[in-house]
Amino acid sequence: MDELSTNVNVASGDPPAAAPAPDADDVLMQRIARRDAHALEILYDRYSGAVYSLCHRILRDGPSAEDVLVDVFWELWDKCDRYDPGRGSAITYLTLIARSRALDYRRSKQGPAAARRAGASEVAAAESEGALERARDRPFEQAVLAERRQQVLRAVNALTPEQRRAVELAYFDGFSHSEIAERLDKPLGTVKTWIRQGLIHLRRSLRNA
Amino acid sequence: MTCDERQDLILLYAADALDAGEREAVAAHVAAGCARCAGALAEARAVMAAMALTAEPLAAPPGARDRLTSRLERSVTTTAATTSPPLAIADYARPGLQRPRKAWALGRVATALAAACVAALLSGLAVWFALHERARLPMAAEVQYVALQGGDTQPLARGRIFWDTVRHQWHVYAFDMKPPPAGRTYQLWFVTSESSRIPAGTFSVDAGGKGSLKVPLPQDIAPIVAAAVTDEPSGGSAQPTGSIHLLGKARW
C-alpha cells in the first residue's frame, strides 16, 4: 500500500525505487536525525497543510490547530529517534503524532487558543494567501496529495453511512467503541462491526488504488 | 488466536478502538516479533493515516512556520553554545569565514567573538535561513551561498548571499547592522577574480538591523570571488569609497 507519501508512485502503488530520491520522505527523516534543519523544512512544506487540516478537523479551531501543528513538527525534530521506518512511513508517523497530540490537546482544554480567537479573520486571510503561495511553490507535491485525497475520499464515500460515521468518530474524535455506541445509541457489537467492516473496506480500496 | 484471526483486531488496534485487554494482547504479540502482524499493523496505521486526508484541506498558517523556526533556533543556539560541534545544517551551514588574501584589506574579523559564540550565532542563523527566507528560493542544487561577516566597523554584523543559479539572481540578507552614517547608504559589491569591484545595488536596514536586496547577476563579468558591503553616498557609487561593513569570500 502506498499511503500518502511521495516515496512511492501514488497512482500505481509501486514500491519505492532502489535508490530513493534525496528528498524522499525516509531520506529526509534520516537527515533530520543528523540535525539537518533543511530536511525539516522540506517535510514541513510538504505536509504542514495536511497536518494542519487534520488538527483543524479534530479541534475545529484555527489557533489550537496551529499550536498542535508547531508541536508536531517540533516533536519530529526533537524526538526523531522515535521514528521507526519499519513501523510505517514518515507521513504515517507524522499523522499518528498529529492525531494523538490534537486529541490530547482537546482533552486538556488548556490551550491558549481562546485568547487569540479575536484575530481569527486575519489568520484566515493569511491562510488563504499562504495556501496559494505554497501551491505555486510545490505544484507536483500538491498534485500528488490532491490525487491521493481523491482516492481516499472515494474509498470513504463507498462506506455505508453508519460505517463512515463510526470510523470518523473513532479517528477524528478519538472515541472508544463504547463511547461511539453510547453517542449513536446503538449496541456495542453493532458499532464494533461497523468500524471493523469500514476499515476492512478502506484497506481493500486503498490497496487497489 | 491465530494471526489470521488477529488481522481484524489489528485494524481496530490502529484505530485505538480496542478495549484495554485486547489492545495489550495485540501489542504483546507484535512486540514478540511476529513479522506478519507487524506488517499488518503498519498497513493498518497507513489506512488510518489516509483518513487524515478526508479532512477539508487547509493551508498551514504562515505564523506557524515562524513559531517553529523560533523554537528551533533557540534550541540550536543553546545546543551550539553548550556543546562545541555546530550542527550539520544543509549545505550552507558551514560556520567560519576565510579572509580573502587579496582584493581589499580587511581588518580583523570577529576577533571580539569567542569561537563557541560564533558557532552558535552562525548555526542559529543558518536554521533561520533554512526555515525562513530560503523557502522562497530553489532547492539546494541550484543555490550557492556567500557568508558575510562584519568588519572592524561593526563586527557583530553578518549576512548571507544566496545565488540562485537558475534565475541568475543574488538574494542578499544582512543582520544586526547599524544604520548607515547620515546621508549615506549601504552598497553591495561584486569582487571578481580580476579584482574588479562591480556595484551591485544599494539597500537600507530596518530598526532591527535587517536589510535585504535581490540582485540580477551580470553575465559578462569574470568569476566572482567575494562580495562586500560598504557605506556610500545616497544613490550609490561607481567605485567603493566608504568603510567595509560586511565581507565574504565565495565558496563555489
In this predicted model, which residue has the larger pLDDT, A46 or B130?
A: A46
Mean local confidence (pLDDT), B33-45: 85
Interface test with B, best of A26, A27, A28, A38 (most B CBs within 10 A): A38
- Measured CA to CA, the distance from residue B52 to residue B54 in angstroms comes to 5
Distant-in-sequence, close-in-space partners of B171: CB < 8 Å, separation ≥ 6: B133, B136, B137, B161, B162, B164, B212, B213, B214, B215
Q: State pTM to two decimals.
A: 0.55
- Provide, as residue numbers in chain A, all residues whose Cβ is less than 8 Å from the Cβ of B90: 36-39
* Type of residue numbered A145: L
- Nearest residue of B to residue A179 by CA position? B17
Residue range A171-183, pLDDT digits in tens: 999 888 888 999 9
Instruction: Tell me the average pLDDT across A119-144.
Output: 47
Cα B174 from Cα B159, distance rounded (Å):
4
Kindly state the cell numbers that stand for A186: 446503538
% residues pLDDT > 90 (chain A): 31
Maximum mean pLDDT: which of B30-34, B142-146, B191-195: B30-34
Measured in angstroms, the CA of A115 and the nearest CA of chain B are apart by: 16
Cell of B185: 547608504
Arithmetic mean of pLDDT, A62-77: 93
What residue ranges in chain B does DSSP mark as E strands?
143-150, 158-164, 169-175, 184-192, 197-203, 211-216, 224-233, 244-249
Q: Where does residue A33 fall: left (phi above 0), alpha (psi -120 to 50 degrees), or beta otherwise?
A: alpha
Model ipTM value: 0.75
pLDDT value at B121 more than 60: no
- CA angle (A88, B70, A55) in 5-degree steps: 45
Rounded to an integer, the average pLDDT of B84-88 is 28
Contact B186, B229 (CB under 8 A): yes
Spatial distance between the Cα atoms of B223 and B219, rounded to a whole number of angstroms? 10
Contacts A–B by Cβ distance under 8 A: 204
pLDDT of residue B116: 34
Provide the shortest C-alpha distance from residue A177 to chain B (in Å): 6
Asked whether the predicted pLDDT for residue B96 surpasses 50, the reply is no
CA nearest B93: which of B140, B37, B46? B140
Per-residue model confidence as pLDDT tens digits over A83-97:
887 777 888 889 889
Residue B62 Cα, gap to closest chain A Cα (Å) = 6
Once rounded to an integer, what is the mean pLDDT over residues A1-22?
A: 44
Query: How many residues can be counted in chain B?
Result: 252
